[in-house]
Homo-oligomer: A and B are copies of this chain.
Amino acid sequence: MTVKSLKEARRDQILKSAEKVFSDKGFLNSTISDVAKETGVSDTTIYEYFSSKEELLFSIPREGIELSKQMLDSHLNYISGTTNKLRGMIYHLCKFYQDNPYFASISLMTLKTNKKFMETDTYKDLKEYYKTMTDVIKEGIQSGELKSDTDPYFVRSVIIGSVEFIVIRWLMYGCPEDKTQPILSVDPLFKLIMHGTKKDKRMKNFNFKIKIEPEDEDGEEA
């Protein structure tokens, strides 16, 4: 439990307001005045806490990114096996965006294409976050769960790209009120990543009686 000073509390208040305002109207269509009104303070007060509109923008996602990373790390500890972890990661990615649509909006629709943001410390945090994902994939390759010719960076890009694409559409069409319904059911993406979409002709065989005479012990799924 942290006890926040008044100053910190006010700062957080401004950040929350800015997050909402920038989400709703877009960063460049929003004014400091909008944020001030939303917060219930004067324009000037905003500048007491943030030196510029841009600094305010860049300050918004920090907490979200940290929180998301902590949650992910925490959950991953409960999961064993790369396959399961990958599924957990995808689930977390979707859920976090869905639970934090303002954060999602600012991250995906404003900051993602902002070059200056790439020079901030917060962006470094984001890269750390990405690293967690890549590490899981790398582990899977080493443990033999994933194909040995897998490019972990590439798989990560596909996962993030897919989720972001879907979240952006969700945001663009207006996030539905019913938040119990997931944006994207995790399993389709998970299955695609795992097994691909091509029908495996050999599967037909399973309808037949076969006699298999194993020579070693390591068979998997039935």
Cross-chain contact A209 with B199 (CB below 8 angstroms): no
Chain B residues closer than 8 Å to A164, beta-carbon distance: 161, 165
Quote the shortest CB–CB distance from A29 to chain B (angstroms): 9
Give 1 or 0 for each of A89-116: 1 = CB within 8 Å of chain B CB.
0000000000000000000111011010
Cross-chain contact A166 with B157 (CB below 8 angstroms): yes
Chain B residues closer than 8 Å to A193, beta-carbon distance: 192, 196-197
Give 1 or 0 for each of A174-215: 1 = CB within 8 Å of chain B CB.
000000000010001101111111111111111111111111
Cross-chain contact B207 with A210 (CB below 8 angstroms): no
For this complex, into which size category does the number of interface residues on chain A fall? 35 or more
Quote the shortest CB–CB distance from A135 to chain B (angstroms): 15
Query: Per a CB cutoff under 8 Å, which of B28, B197, B216 touches A194?
Result: B197
Query: Per a CB cutoff under 8 Å, which of B137, B192, B207, B222 touches A155?
Result: B192
Cross-chain contact A147 with B199 (CB below 8 angstroms): yes
Query: Per a CB cutoff under 8 Å, which of B203, B213, B217 touches A210?
Result: B213
Cross-chain contact A204 with B192 (CB below 8 angstroms): no
Chain B residues closer than 8 Å to A154, beta-carbon distance: 184, 188-189, 192
Quote the shortest CB–CB distance from A163 to chain B (angstroms): 7
Which one of A145, A150, A217 has the highest number of Cβ atoms from chain B below 10 Å of its Cβ?
A: A150
Does residue A158 face the partner (Cβ distance < 8 Å to B)?
A: yes
Which one of A83, A189, A192 has the highest number of Cβ atoms from chain B below 10 Å of its Cβ?
A: A192
The 6 closest A-B pairs by CB, nearest first: A161-B165, A207-B219, A204-B219, A196-B196, A201-B220, A208-B214
